[in-house]
């Protein structure tokens, strides 16, 4: 009897202590989400004083009938997959390389994270200048110095080369995040494990597969999941670099702000949320971390 | 005890939440009215000018406080949409004529208040060209009080043209002949810097050629009339002319850079090229030509002050007072001189103002400054037919279909007939 009563009062205290954070979460996350879902069923005018028209699933049906949406979706999956795979693999490779003592290691490490900490807008301008058709250094080197091509390619005007460049940009910009996270966990691996593997005659690949990979797996999965979510919703980098790669973030922005169709834009974000949740739940189940 | 604590915490949180959500008090306890003023002058020097104007206004009107909302140009329209849908649109806003149409469509503008303010400042002193850009569809009201503007045309370097025996280009054929003569791809020299980017700049640039061939997007009844022989002719001309421009998508940066560094002798650009020309010296060497075929067409835009709808009487009165204050000739002159050369006067009292005429940049261009000011009356824009400024043009411009068309035929090398048909279909979807 006594124990039961104690448990009850603990619960009350826990509720009181949790209340402020629960309240904030409800206010900042749940309320906008519910409001967004509500807007998605309406044809919403920009002026709040004008009445919104209830359209039921009209917005959802419009989107699911739009070929451009599926094109964007496919492109976004491809972009996310390539950029996450590339930036994680490259980050891991550099982290392994850095996981040993050498001179100027600290300076080199700080230089590596430069692309991650610099604001997007300055990096985008640097890339645009590098690939500029008239005075870009890439075309200057390719055409005038090394004579790799007769006519300078229009890098950001061709959909395929634009896509390759935005993926390369994402890999280059975001690999330091994987690098920092993975280097931290690499440094925790006991070197005696490698020595033991060496005595057993393990090759470099075997050492990586048997010792390194299992040890870094929890961090690796987190890095991949987070980066996938962030890149799936990418807008700024791609929008600023080119208008030839219509990923979902751009499709959503144009619907909301170029066409001022707030209801449709809200329903796109609900669909994206559902897709992304399914992908994450499935991937977490398969990897079991 | 615990229950009481919980209630107190809950009440406090709710209060905090509601305060965060609320718009704040507009009318203070001491009887002062606070109104917000949204503008795009975020740079330090420009802000200093506006701060000074606001200070002067507050001194003259001690019962009104102005809270500034400076927003960068790139995110300006997005901000209007988000503020408007949250019901927090500032009382007075600086807005371009195109976006004013979008706002007008959503009934976000108090046109009565705007008209009263415009009349109070002296409607007759504004250039007709500027006023017609902010006129509403019925031609009776205005979406804003013009405060400054800019015009766009073909800038050329007199010495370069003279070297090859050319004079000022007078019509389409002259422009093409000069562009052709100067193009030397092997040495990366081109005839004209032309916008080809998939962005608003291309629509603005191309509209001058289309309108000078009497091709508009809408007819006099406001129906879509884009797929016409005149429009096709203009597109064919623009596509041919684009052979003599720098390869790829050219935006403002590329066009301005190539004109300033001597890659091209001609560039289609706004008056915002003048400050750079002044910095380089030799202001006598530059000329301004207007594309001309069947008629003359200058592209231009005005920045106007508009008053948002749904205001309480005191706010509306304060907003009108502030708008009328900024539209006084001496204050408008200060506004225009925030970017001398680039921003142009839209009111003849500013052009005649002593401070304006004494400005060293304005003075250095001599006759050219007068020529540019006069060109304001030759402004033609898409969607403005027989003095009727059709509202739906705002949506057409916003949709970005024209820039896509220009980019596809010039940079993408695609077929004009097919692309124009696609554009027509896409615009139909937008306006229906």
What is the extent of the structural domain holding B251?
151-300+375-431
Residues B266 and B219 reside in one and the same domain: yes
Residues B208 and B102 reside in one and the same domain: no
* CB-CB under 8 Å, B81 with A257: yes
Domain membership of residue B45 (yes or no) is yes
Residue of chain B nearest A140, judged by CA positions: B188
Q: Which residue has the higher pLDDT, B432 or B38?
A: B38
Of B10, B108, B249, the CB nearest to A47: B108
**pLDDT for position A179:** 95
- Mean pLDDT computed over A68-79: 93
Minimum distance, in Å, between the CA of residue A19 and any CA atom of chain B: 8
Instruction: For residue range B4-41, list pLDDT tens digits in order.
Output: 544 444 444 444 444 444 444 456 667 889 999 999 98
Residues B134 and B162 reside in one and the same domain: no
Domain membership of residue A112 (yes or no) is yes
Residue of chain A nearest B88, judged by CA positions: A48
**pLDDT for position B230:** 96
Domain membership of residue A179 (yes or no) is yes
How many domains does chain B contain in total?
2
The model's confidence at residue B410, banded by pLDDT at 50, 70 and 90, is very high
Q: Is the dihedral of CA B417, B423, B429, B432 positive or negative?
A: negative
**Residues of chain A contacting B77 with CB distance shorter than 8 Å:** 257
Q: What single string gives the DSSP state of each residue in chain A? A: -HHHHHHHHHHHHHHHHHHHHHHHHIIIIIHHHHHHHHHTTEE--SSTTSPPEE-TTHHHHHHHH-HHHHHHHHHHHHHHHHHHHHHHHHHHHHHHHHSS--TTHHHHHHHHTHHHHS-HHHHHHHHHHHT-TTT-HHHIIIIIIS---SS---TTTSHHHHHHHHHHHHHHHHHHHHHHHHHHHHTTS-HHHHHHHHHTT--HHHHIIIIIHHHHHHHHHHHHHHHHHHHHT--HHHHHH-SS---HHHHHHIIIIIS--HHHHHHHHHHHHHHHHHHHHHHHHHHT-
Residue B371, token pair as written in the block: 């020529």
Q: What share of chain B has pLDDT > 70, as a percent?
A: 93
Question: Does B273 score more than 50 pLDDT?
Answer: yes
Residues B166 and B285 reside in one and the same domain: yes
**Residues of chain A contacting B398 with CB distance shorter than 8 Å:** 258-260
What residues 37-66 of chain A have any CB closer than 8 A to a CB of chain B? 44-50
Closest CA to B212 of B386, B372, B382, B346: B382
Instruction: For residue range B39-74, list pLDDT tens digits in order.
Output: 998 888 889 999 999 999 999 999 999 999 999 888
Domain membership of residue B7 (yes or no) is no
Residue A235, token pair as written in the block: 């807008």
Domain membership of residue B6 (yes or no) is no
CA distance A107 to A98: 12
- Residue B411 belongs to domain with CATH number: 3.40.190.10
For residue B226, give Cα distances in angstroms to A111, B52, B414.
54, 46, 18
Domain membership of residue A32 (yes or no) is no
Instruction: For residue range A244-269, list pLDDT tens digits in order.
Output: 899 999 998 888 887 788 899 999 99
Domain membership of residue A110 (yes or no) is yes
* CB-CB under 8 Å, A154 with B399: no
Residues B331 and B392 reside in one and the same domain: no
**Residues of chain B contacting A20 with CB distance shorter than 8 Å:** 9, 13
Residues B204 and B287 reside in one and the same domain: yes
Of B78, B86, B249, the CB nearest to A156: B249
What residues 84-143 of chain A have any CB closer than 8 A to a CB of chain B? 132-135
Domain membership of residue B289 (yes or no) is yes
The interface predicted TM-score (ipTM) is: 0.74
The model's confidence at residue B318, banded by pLDDT at 50, 70 and 90, is very high
Cβ neighbour number for residue B67 with a 10 Å cutoff:
13
What is the extent of the structural domain holding A86?
69-287
The H or E element spanning position B113 is helix B111-121
Domain membership of residue B418 (yes or no) is yes
For residue A22, give Cα distances in angstroms to A10, A18, B11, B13, B48.
17, 6, 14, 11, 44
Minimum distance, in Å, between the CA of residue B78 and any CA atom of chain A: 6
Mutate to test the interface with A, among B3, B85, B414 (most CBs of A within 10 A): B85
Of the given ranges (A89-93, A171-175, A250-254), which has the lowest mean pLDDT? Answer: A250-254
Cβ neighbour number for residue B2 with a 10 Å cutoff:
11
Tell me the CA end-to-end span of chain B in Å, nearest whole number: 63
Of A12, A157, A254, the CB nearest to B248: A157
Q: Using a CB–CB cutoff of 8 Å, tell me whether A255 touches chain B.
A: no
Q: Using a CB–CB cutoff of 8 Å, tell me whether A268 touches chain B.
A: no
**Residues of chain A contacting B254 with CB distance shorter than 8 Å:** 132-134
Domain membership of residue B366 (yes or no) is no
Domain membership of residue A33 (yes or no) is no
* CB-CB under 8 Å, B2 with A16: yes
Question: Does B215 score more than 60 pLDDT?
Answer: yes
DSSP B248: S
**pLDDT for position A1:** 47
CA distance B88 to B84: 6
**Residues of chain B contacting A243 with CB distance shorter than 8 Å:** 198-199
Cβ neighbour number for residue A103 with a 10 Å cutoff:
7
CB-based contact B191:B242 (threshold 8 Å): no
Of the given ranges (A70-84, A181-195, B326-340, B387-401), which has the lowest mean pLDDT? Answer: B387-401
Minimum distance, in Å, between the CA of residue A230 and any CA atom of chain B: 22
Residues B273 and B174 reside in one and the same domain: yes
Residues B379 and B249 reside in one and the same domain: yes
Domain membership of residue B12 (yes or no) is no
Residues B52 and B68 reside in one and the same domain: yes
How many domains does chain A contain in total?
1
* CB-CB under 8 Å, A256 with B81: yes
**pLDDT for position B4:** 52
Return the number of CB contacts < 8 Å for A and B: 86
Average pLDDT, chain A: 88
Domain membership of residue A247 (yes or no) is yes
Residues B166 and B229 reside in one and the same domain: yes
**Residues of chain A contacting B263 with CB distance shorter than 8 Å:** 134
* CB-CB under 8 Å, B106 with A45: yes
CB-based contact B40:B301 (threshold 8 Å): no
The model's confidence at residue B271, banded by pLDDT at 50, 70 and 90, is very high
Q: What share of chain A has pLDDT > 90, as a percent?
A: 52
Minimum distance, in Å, between the CA of residue B345 and any CA atom of chain A: 30
- Residue A139 belongs to domain with CATH number: 1.10.3720.10
Q: Using a CB–CB cutoff of 8 Å, tell me whether A243 touches chain B.
A: yes
Domain membership of residue B409 (yes or no) is yes
* CB-CB under 8 Å, B248 with A154: yes
Average pLDDT, chain B: 89
Residue of chain B nearest A143, judged by CA positions: B186
DSSP B295: S
Domain membership of residue A21 (yes or no) is no
- Mean pLDDT computed over B154-179: 94
CA distance B49 to B94: 15
Residues B196 and B345 reside in one and the same domain: no
CA B339, chain centre distance (Å): 14
Residues B245 and B389 reside in one and the same domain: yes
Domain membership of residue A211 (yes or no) is yes
Minimum distance, in Å, between the CA of residue B85 and any CA atom of chain A: 5
Residue of chain B nearest A240, judged by CA positions: B74
Q: Which residue has the higher pLDDT, B31 or B408?
A: B408
Q: What share of chain B has pLDDT > 90, as a percent?
A: 66
* CB-CB under 8 Å, B411 with A157: yes
Residue of chain B nearest A25, judged by CA positions: B17
**Residues of chain B contacting A132 with CB distance shorter than 8 Å:** 254
């Amino acid at each position: 009897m006594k124990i039961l009563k104690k448990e009850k009062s603990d619960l009350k205290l826990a509720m009181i202590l949790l209340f402020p954070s629960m309240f904030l979460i409800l206010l900042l996350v749940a309320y906008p989400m519910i409001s967004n879902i509500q807007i998605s069923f309406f044809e919403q005018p920009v002026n709040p004083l004008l009445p919104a028209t209830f359209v039921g699933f009209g917005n959802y049906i419009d989107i699911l009938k739009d070929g451009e949406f599926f094109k964007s979706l496919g492109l976004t999956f491809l972009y996310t997959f390539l950029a996450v795979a590339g930036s994680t693999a490259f980050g891991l490779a550099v982290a392994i390389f850095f996981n040993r003592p050498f001179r100027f290691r600290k300076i080199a490490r700080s230089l590596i994270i430069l692309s991650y900490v610099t604001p997007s807008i300055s990096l985008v301008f640097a890339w645009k200048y590098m690939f500029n058709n008239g005075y870009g250094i890439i075309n200057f080197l390719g055409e005038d110095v090394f004579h790799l091509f007769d006519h300078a390619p229009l890098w950001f005007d061709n959909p395929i080369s634009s896509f390759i460049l935005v993926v390369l940009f994402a890999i280059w910009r975001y690999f330091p995040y994987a690098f920092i996270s993975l280097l931290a966990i690499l440094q925790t691996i006991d070197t005696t494990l490698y020595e033991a593997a060496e005595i057993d005659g393990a090759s470099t690949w075997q050492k990586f597969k048997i010792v390194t990979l299992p040890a870094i797996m929890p961090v690796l999965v987190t890095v991949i999941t987070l980066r996938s979510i962030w890149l799936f919703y990418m807008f700024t980098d791609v929008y600023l670099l080119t208008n030839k790669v219509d990923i979902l973030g751009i499709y959503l922005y144009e619907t909301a702000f170029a066409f001022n169709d707030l209801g449709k834009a809200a329903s796109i974000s609900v669909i994206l949320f559902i897709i992304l949740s399914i992908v994450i739940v499935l991937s977490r189940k398969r990897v079991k971390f | 005890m615990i229950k009481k604590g919980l209630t107190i915490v809950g009440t406090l949180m709710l209060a905090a939440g509601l305060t965060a959500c609320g718009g704040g008090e507009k009318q203070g306890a001491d009887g002062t009215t606070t109104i917000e003023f949204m503008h795009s002058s975020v740079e330090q020097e420009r802000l200093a000018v506006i701060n000074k104007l606001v200070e002067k206004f507050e001194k003259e009107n001690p019962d009104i406080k102005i809270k500034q909302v400076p927003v960068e140009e790139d995110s300006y329209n997005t901000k209007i949409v988000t503020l408007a849908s949250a019901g927090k649109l500032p009382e007075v806003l600086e807005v371009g004529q195109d976006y004013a149409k979008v706002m007008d469509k959503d009934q976000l503008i108090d046109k009565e208040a705007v008209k009263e303010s415009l009349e109070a400042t002296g409607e007759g002193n504004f250039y007709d060209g500027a006023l017609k850009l902010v006129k509403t569809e019925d031609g009776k009201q205005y979406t804003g009080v013009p405060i400054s503007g800019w015009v766009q045309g073909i800038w050329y370097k007199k010495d370069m043209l003279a070297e090859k025996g050319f004079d000022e280009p007078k019509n389409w054929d002259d422009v093409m002949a000069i562009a052709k003569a100067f193009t030397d791809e092997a040495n990366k020299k081109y005839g004209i810097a032309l916008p080809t980017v998939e962005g608003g700049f291309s629509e603005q640039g191309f509209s001058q050629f289309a309108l000078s061939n009497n091709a508009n997007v809408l007819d006099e009844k406001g129906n879509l009339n884009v797929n016409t022989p005149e429009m096709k002719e203009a597109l064919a001309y623009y596509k041919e002319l684009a052979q003599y421009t720098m390869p790829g998508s050219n935006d403002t940066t590329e066009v301005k850079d190539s004109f300033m560094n001597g890659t091209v002798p001609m560039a289609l650009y706004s008056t915002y090229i003048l400050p750079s020309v002044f910095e380089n010296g030799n202001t006598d060497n530059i000329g301004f030509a207007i594309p001309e075929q069947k008629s003359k067409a200058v592209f231009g835009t005005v920045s106007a002050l508009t008053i948002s709808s749904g205001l309480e009487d005191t706010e509306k009165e304060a907003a009108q007072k502030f708008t009328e204050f900024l539209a006084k000739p001496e204050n408008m002159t200060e506004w225009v001189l925030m970017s001398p050369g680039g921003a142009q006067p839209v009111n003849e009292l500013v052009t005649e103002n002593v401070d304006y005429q004494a400005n060293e940049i304005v003075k250095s261009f001599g006759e050219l400054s007068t020529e540019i000011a006069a060109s304001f009356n030759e402004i033609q824009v898409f969607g403005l037919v027989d003095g009727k400024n059709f509202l739906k043009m705002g949506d057409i411009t916003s949709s970005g279909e024209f820039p896509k068309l220009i980019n596809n035929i010039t940079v993408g090398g695609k077929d004009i007939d097919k692309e124009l048909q696609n554009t027509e279909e896409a615009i139909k979807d937008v306006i229906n």
